[in-house]
């Protein structure tokens, strides 16, 4: 599919001034300008954040109430139940809060709903169980804001609730002791994009301040908070950047035996946001997807190295099983699509698909075809599924406009969860396709935003190394993309059974190697001697003690 390449238009005077004032390369200065990081305070916090850059936690809605109630529960030895989600954000949230409260002498336990049997969020059966076990205070983490009915039920049974969440609020807030969520309409906190574990971090910061504890009592959890924040794909800007930049330094020397063991077994040598995103997060998420979220929590809570290794090996097994299931579903979905799908949207349903994995497959299908996709797995007469969208098409709004044959759905513009009766699936599919046909979806073209056009003679290993100051990369702080034009192909070959593409490129007397992951199918479209333009990320390749620049290709086209 053809993609539109767009370069940022940059004020060169700003770039010159920034480079001179902060002794930066023009390459780095230009990227900062592209991202509107030009004021002194913004630049200092972005490049060199410190623990002094955290906001006052008591600016959060209901934080005073939450802290007072938790301290009361600690002092009176009440039984506290932490109710959390089964993904990385939820697991890390429970870990941080439970460890912190245990250190304060609290009586605390946790409840994680089973993804396959209970689904997301609070449910009445779980609450009844918690009440039967004589807990009197429940703290939700990474969930709870939509549990209006469930919290009313908890109140009727005599258990009080504190909600800590980061999801969008409805028109009505839960009737809880405190609702700590910066998405509230009355929020005055300066940043409302924290992950669930980020909200928990602010909670333990506030408790620490109220109890006159040393800063280290909450800062020591930044490694786990960092893992949850990066894994939840929240924007890595503002306070999230402070959390992740400082947190990654702690991950490198982590004292959490489970995290340390998981990193070792994942095979990653370098600690950065990619290690978390591709090495740690999938293994933890696999537990929740396969119905074993408690194993991931045990890993983070254990103090026993042998137990940590045993659990980490289990996580590897769950992840391998998840990958196997995911590949089977993906292959079956692609087969269906190639046989009979010419619509602007992809809607598929099948028995024996695993609804814990289906969201990942939907995401990959959408990436492959650049079409919104909804995949549903049928279990007897009911179908459960997930959908992913493309930038510019609001999937949540689309379902809201054609919900006649839908039992229920939730989510946001880019990702949804859905439940449909099997006998109504075809009618839903027709309604949805009809809605999409009446939309502007055919006008949407994938855009690659390019930070700068560069030439081989003007970039150095030192310049590329300096780009590390921009890390950690993630949502809202993507790895910079560069355009190189008129490079002559000196060699070209496919790798890994045709999956990837490897090029050696030349511009006058300057050389660069290029690797294109999942671009192996293009090896037949280009020949030695062709002139090409390439967009990709710049990396430093180390081989035999020598350093050279290579480009990780995102797109390629012939030069004109």
Edge-first strand listing for the sheet containing 408-411: 346-351, 373-379, 382-388, 415-421, 408-411
Interatomic CA distance for residues 480 and 473, integer angstroms = 9
554: pLDDT confidence band, cut at 50, 70 and 90? very high
CB 535 within 8 A of CB 551: no
Per-residue pLDDT tens for 428-462? 999 999 999 988 898 899 899 999 999 999 888 99
Per-residue pLDDT tens for 162-196? 999 998 888 899 999 999 999 999 999 999 999 99
Task: Please tell me whether the overall predicted TM-score, pTM, comes out greater than 0.95 for this model.
Answer: no
Per-residue pLDDT tens for 198-220? 999 999 999 999 999 999 999 99
Identify the pLDDT of residue 63: 98
Interatomic CA distance for residues 465 and 461, integer angstroms = 6
- Name the pairing type of β-strands 447-450 and 160-164: unpaired
Residue 427 token pair = 């009618």
Per-residue pLDDT tens for 253-275? 999 999 999 999 988 888 999 99
Give the DSSP per-residue string, 473-539.
Answer: PBTTBPPP-EEEEEEEEEEEEEETTTTEEEEEEEETTEEEEEEETT-GGGGGT--TT-EEEEEEEEE
Asked if residue 281 has pLDDT above 70, the reply is yes
Give ∠ CA 344-349-352 in degrees, rounded to 5. Answer: 150
545: pLDDT confidence band, cut at 50, 70 and 90? confident
Domains annotated on the chain, with CATH: 4-11+448-558 (2.40.50.460), 53-221 (3.90.1640.30), 341-443 (3.10.310.30)
Asked if residue 341 has pLDDT above 90, the reply is no
Element holding 84 (H helix, E strand): strand 79-84
């Amino acid at each position: 599919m053809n993609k539109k390449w767009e370069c940022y238009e940059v004020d060169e005077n700003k770039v010159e001034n920034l480079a001179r004032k902060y002794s930066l390369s023009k390459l780095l200065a230009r990227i900062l300008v592209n991202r509107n990081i030009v004021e002194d305070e913004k630049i200092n916090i972005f490049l060199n954040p410190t623990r002094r850059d955290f906001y006052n936690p008591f600016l959060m809605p209901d934080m005073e109430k939450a802290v007072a109630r938790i301290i009361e529960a600690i002092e009176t030895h009440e039984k506290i139940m932490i109710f959390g989600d089964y993904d990385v954000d939820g697991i890390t949230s429970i870990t941080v809060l439970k460890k912190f409260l245990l250190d304060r002498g609290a009586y605390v336990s946790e409840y994680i709903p089973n993804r396959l049997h209970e689904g997301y969020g609070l449910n009445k059966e779980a609450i009844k169980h918690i009440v039967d076990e004589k807990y009197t205070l429940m703290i939700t983490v990474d969930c709870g804001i939509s549990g209006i009915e469930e919290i009313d039920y908890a109140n009727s049974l005599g258990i009080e609730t504190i909600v800590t969440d980061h999801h969008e609020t409805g028109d009505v807030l839960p009737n809880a002791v405190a609702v700590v969520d910066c998405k509230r309409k009355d929020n005055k906190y300066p940043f409302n994009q924290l992950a669930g574990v980020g909200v928990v971090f602010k909670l333990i910061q506030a408790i620490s301040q109220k109890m006159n504890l040393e800063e280290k009592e909450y800062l020591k959890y930044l490694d786990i908070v960092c893992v949850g924040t990066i894994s939840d794909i929240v924007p890595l800007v503002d306070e999230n950047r402070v959390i992740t930049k400082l947190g990654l330094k702690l991950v490198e020397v982590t004292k959490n035996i489970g995290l340390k063991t998981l990193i070792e077994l994942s095979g990653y040598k370098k600690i950065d946001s990619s290690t978390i995103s591709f090495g740690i997060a999938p293994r933890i998420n696999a537990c929740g997807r396969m119905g074993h979220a408690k194993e991931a929590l045990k890993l983070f809570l254990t103090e026993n190295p042998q137990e940590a290794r045993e659990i980490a090996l289990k996580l590897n097994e769950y992840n391998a099983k998840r990958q196997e299931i995911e590949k089977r579903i993906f292959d079956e979905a692609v087969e269906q699509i190639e046989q009979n799908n010419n619509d602007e949207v992809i809607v598929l349903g099948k028995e024996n698909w695993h609804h814990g994995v289906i969201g990942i497959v939907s995401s990959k299908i959408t990436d492959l075809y650049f079409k919104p996709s909804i995949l549903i797995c049928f279990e007897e007469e009911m179908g459960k599924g997930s959908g992913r969208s493309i930038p510019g098409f609001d999937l949540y709004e689309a379902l809201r406009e054609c919900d006649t044959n839908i039992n229920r759905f939730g989510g946001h513009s880019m990702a949804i969860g859905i439940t449909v009766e099997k006998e109504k699936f075809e009618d839903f599919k027709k309604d949805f396709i009809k809605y999409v046909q009446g939309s502007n979806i055919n006008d949407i073209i994938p855009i690659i935003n390019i930070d700068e056009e560069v030439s081989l003679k003007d970039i150095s290993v030192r310049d590329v190394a300096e780009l590390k100051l921009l890390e950690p990369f993630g949502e809202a702080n993507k790895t910079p993309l560069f355009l190189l034009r008129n490079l002559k192909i000196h060699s070209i070959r496919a790798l890994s059974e045709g999956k990837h593409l490897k090029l050696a490129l030349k511009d006058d007397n300057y050389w660069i190697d290029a690797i294109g992951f999942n671009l192996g199918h293009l090896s037949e479209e280009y020949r030695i001697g062709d002139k090409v333009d390439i967009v990709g990320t710049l990396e430093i390749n180390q081989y035999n003690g020598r350093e050279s620049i290579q480009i990780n290709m995102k797109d390629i086209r012939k030069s004109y």
